[in-house]
């Protein structure tokens, strides 16, 4: 595929986690000739879950045919799971996409749209089990591909995910060149990036701190599953 014919859309919604969006967008924007669209209902500034304002570039009703649709996560994901305008848009645009993708809890939005039924997928570690309520098979991995579905785990995995997408679209050498341009060579200061390696007492405290929010998310997921 010619990179000039690649159109990549990322859904930009209120209370998105900005790195879920901007990490992949940084990678995709370096794919020579590709067109990256930040998609929302209108072109007004969108406030992320940490207060950053980001401008959409393309409205839903003006979205061109896409090669890739990507749905990031964030606390606003809860509201989006019952947003019929967004869910209908995703169903419509996905029909013509080469890859249907997500980062973090964006996979729950794909699931709410009925786009992960029967597919293996991942999500943020705190909510990955909820994928099963939406007909998907949860997989604990940083990036999961199942046919034309590609999902990334929590937040920072969006860069790994996006490089994997670029490799599929344009080849590994192009993806490796982008990785080198970005100097993506992580050496985290702590071994605490997932429950698999973090100290058990830290995992327990973090889960407790997140428990009320995760319950809100679970309620939204159950409601979405009942609509499928």
Mind telling me the catalytic residues?
Answer: 104
To the question of pTM greater than 0.95 for the whole model, the response is: yes
Tokens linked to 222: 């159950």
pLDDT at 217 over 70: yes
Would you kindly state where each structural domain of the chain is located, as residue ranges?
Answer: 3-227
Summarize the confidence of residues 74-83 as an average pLDDT: 98
159-186: pLDDT as tens digits: 999 999 999 999 999 999 999 999 999 9
Predicted pLDDT of residue 4: 60
pLDDT tier, 58 (very low <50, low <70, confident <90, very high otherwise) = very high
188-211: pLDDT as tens digits: 999 999 999 999 999 999 999 999
15-41: pLDDT as tens digits: 999 999 999 999 999 999 999 999 999
3-state secondary structure the chain: CCHHHCEEEEECCCCCCHHHHHHHHHHHCCCCCCEEEEEECCCCCEECCCCCEECCCEEHHHCCCCCEEEECCCCCHHHHCCCHHHHHHHHHHHCCCCEEEEECCHHHHHHHCCCCCCCEECCCCCCHHHHHHHCCEECCCCEEEECCEEEECCCCHHHHHHHHHHHHHHCHHHHHHHHHHCCCCCCCCCCCCCCCCCCHHHHHHHHHHHHHHHHHHHHHHHHHHHHC
Q: How far apart are CA 127 and CA 220, in angstroms?
A: 12
Question: Domain 3-227: which topology?
Answer: Rossmann fold (3.40.50)
| Mean pLDDT computed over every residue of the chain | 97
102-155: pLDDT as tens digits: 999 999 999 999 999 999 999 999 999 999 999 999 999 999 999 999 999 999
Summarize the confidence of residues 75-95 as an average pLDDT: 98
Radius of gyration of the chain (CA): 17
If one counts every other C-beta atom within 10 angstroms of the C-beta of residue 63, the result is 16
**Residue whose structure tokens are 């799971």:** 81
Predicted pLDDT of residue 3: 53
pLDDT at 1 over 80: no
**Sheet arrangement for strand 58-59:** 58-59, 35-40, 7-11, 68-71, 99-103, 149-152, 143-146
Predicted pLDDT of residue 53: 98
């Amino acid at each position: 595929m010619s990179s000039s014919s690649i159109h990549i859309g990322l859904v930009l919604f209120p209370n998105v986690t900005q790195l879920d969006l901007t990490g992949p967008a940084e990678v995709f924007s370096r794919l020579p000739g590709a067109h990256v669209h930040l998609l929302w209902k209108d072109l007004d500034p969108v406030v992320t879950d940490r207060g950053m304002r980001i401008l959409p570039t393309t409205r839903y009703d003006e979205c061109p045919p896409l090669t890739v649709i990507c749905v990031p996560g964030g606390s606003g994901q809860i509201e989006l799971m019952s947003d019929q305008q967004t869910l209908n848009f995703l169903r419509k645009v996905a029909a013509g996409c080469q890859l249907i993708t997500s980062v973090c809890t964006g996979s729950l939005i794909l699931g709410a749209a009925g786009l992960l039924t029967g597919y293996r997928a991942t999500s943020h570690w705190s909510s990955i089990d909820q994928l099963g309520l939406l007909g998907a098979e949860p997989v604990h991995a940083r990036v999961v591909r199942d046919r034309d579905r590609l999902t990334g785990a929590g937040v920072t995995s969006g860069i790994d995910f996006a490089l994997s997408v670029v490799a599929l679209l344009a080849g590994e050498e192009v993806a490796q060149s982008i990785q080198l341009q970005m100097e993506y060579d992580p050496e985290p200061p702590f071994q605490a990036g997932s429950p698999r390696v973090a100290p058990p007492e830290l995992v327990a405290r973090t889960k407790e701190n997140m428990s009320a929010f995760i319950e809100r998310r679970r309620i939204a997921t159950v409601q979405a599953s009942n609509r499928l």
